[in-house]
Amino acid sequence: MPSPMPTIFEPFTLSNGSMIPNRLAKAAMEENMAADGQLPDDALFRLYRRWSEGGVGLIITGNVMVHAEALTGPGGVVLDAHSPLEPFRQWAAAAKRGGARVWMQVNHPGRQVQADMPGVAWGPSAIRVDLGRNSKRFAQPTEMTARQIQETVARFATTARRAEEAGFDGVEIHAAHGYLLSQFLSPLSNRRTDEWGGDLDNRARLLLDVVRAVRAAVTPQFAVAVKLNSADFQRGGFDADDAAKVIALLAPLGVDVVELSGGSYESPAMTGQSGDQRTRAREAYFLTLPEELAKTSPLPLMVTGGIVRRPVAEEVLAGGIALVGMGSALAVDPDLPNKWRHDADAKVALPPVRIKDKAIASAATMAHVRQQLRRLGNGRRTRPGTNPKVSLLKETLLQRRALRRYRTWLAGRA
């Protein structure tokens, strides 16, 4: 007889033998809440304690940047060779307070850097993010040299090693959403003709080298996950067939889980803004392609995107997926997993963002989520009914202050 489908509250054991208490994961959401020195502080500790006590089995942090000169936003947390470890130890401890495991998402933005940011904007090729009339909001990138690529591999390994020293249970290497590793994977942003460009094996070389370096820098019990697009949702871009091939390439390298998402700043499907009707027709808007990939995947998969109801979370597991990632729903109600134990009908309402410009709609959506995270970090209740346009205005003002602070910190470091 076939084994019964696991329930969302059953444990999941990784290939390295470590266990996640249940199948629900708080997916990464970029908080942009770094304190002085681009470090976590009490607000992040409080926020992560709430999630751990809310009942998820796994917590994945928002972006932690491996390169101090390359941030997705001025409020980004940085963990590199020079960062003090004590704030990260406190962060890991807070995230484990309720019994959850905690993985640090590690990332490099590549070309997805705002034009007014100091530091560097690198890419596989010198191709700017294409947002039409909004393109000038992003820096013009320079094509990375072989040395810069090798140094970037080393930075990922250093951050992972220090994350383990700080008490985290694993790292998730971000190779989705149009960030640097995703840029190398995509034939639209990677036009190189050397060993890092051309066919998929070459375009995947940087990701595979990062995974090898990270795995070598940490212990076998430390989890190594990869976040990968199931598709870029751009014609001629990285697609589901490419994803299946990359998963197969990752399988022998000691990867424990692959999280599947989708989109980039150019096609912001990860905020629910994709025009792909096949995926938007369902609440879990990244579920269709992962279900297809799960049929042949040699690695356990996690799916994130739009899940706000327990029946949909159970549908994800029934489709052969190992872990259910939730983001915005837990920004609105961090206690939702515990509520599901007693009330299968509990859910949260996520008001739609009705802005025609996709880039602005995506920014407003992310600003609205971050406003809820800040409220939780300050010990307050969330306000999901807030107008996303108001959230975007507040976010813009906060980011201006954070940019001044980041400029001063980076100059002092140099």
Question: Residue 250: how many CB atoms within 10 A of its CB?
Answer: 24
In this prediction, residue 261 has a pLDDT band, given cuts at 50, 70 and 90, of confident
Residue 405 in any domain: the answer is no
Alpha carbons within 13 angstroms on the beta-carbon side of residue 168 total: 29
- Which one, of 138, 126, 118, lies nearest residue 70 by Cα? 118
Residue 259 lies in a domain: yes
Cα–Cα dist 370/363, whole Å: 10
In this predicted structure, what is the pLDDT of residue 152?
98
The enclosing domain of 95 has a CATH number of 3.20.20.70
Residue 119, CA distances (Å) to 72, 337, 403, 410 in order: 11, 40, 12, 8
Classify residue 384: in a domain, yes or no. no
d(CA 207, CA 229): 13
State mean pLDDT over 199-217: 98
Instruction: Please report which helix (H) or strand (E) contains residue 170, including its range.
Output: strand 170-175
- The whole-model pTM stands at 0.93
Residue 204 lies in a domain: yes
Helix (H, G, I), strand (E, B) or coil at 26: strand
Residue 300, amino acid: P
Residue 1 pLDDT exceeds 50: no
- Report whether 75 contacts 399 (CB < 8 A): yes
**Of 251, 185, 256, 253, which Cα lies nearest the Cα of 225?**
256
SS3 364: helix
Residue 367 domain-assigned? Answer: no
Asked if residue 164 lies in contact with residue 222, where contact means CB atoms within 8 angstroms, the answer is yes
Q: Which pairs count as long-range contacts for 206-209, CB under 8 Å and 24+ apart, including other chains?
A: 206/124, 206/149, 206/152, 206/153, 206/180, 206/181, 207/173, 207/175, 207/181, 207/246, 207/250, 208/249, 208/250, 208/253, 209/153
Q: pLDDT (tens digit, 9 = 90+) per residue, 105-140? A: 999 999 999 999 999 999 999 999 987 887 888 999
- Specify if 411 maps to a domain: no
Domain count along the chain: 1
pLDDT at 3: 55
Q: CA-to-CA distance for 245 and 200, rounded, in angstroms?
A: 8
**Whole-number Å distance between alpha carbons of 381 and 376:** 6
Q: What angle do CA 189, 195, 201 make, to 5 degrees?
A: 75
**Residues spanned by the domain of 70:** 12-351
Q: 170-201: buried (b, 16+ CB within 10 Å) or exposed (e) per residue?
A: bbbbbbbbbbbbbbbbbbbbbebeeebbeeee
- Asked whether residue 369 is assigned to any structural domain, the reply reads no
How many of the other CB atoms lie within 10 Å of CB of 37? 16
What is the chain's length?
A: 414
The pLDDT value given to residue 269: 44
What is the dihedral sign for C-alpha 279, 283, 286, 290? negative
Q: Is residue 339, in this structure, part of any structural domain at all?
A: yes
- Banded model confidence at residue 279, pLDDT cuts 50, 70, 90: very low
User: Using CA atoms, how far apart are residues 227 and 149, in angstroms rounded to an integer?
Assistant: 19
CB 232 within 8 Å of CB 264: yes
Contact 306, 349 (CB under 8 A): no
Is the pLDDT score of 236 beyond 70?
no
Dist. CA 219–CA 240, nearest whole Å:
31
Per-residue pLDDT tens for 294-346? 889 999 999 988 889 999 899 899 989 999 999 999 999 999 999 999 999 99
| pLDDT value for 239 | 83
pLDDT beyond 90 at 46: yes
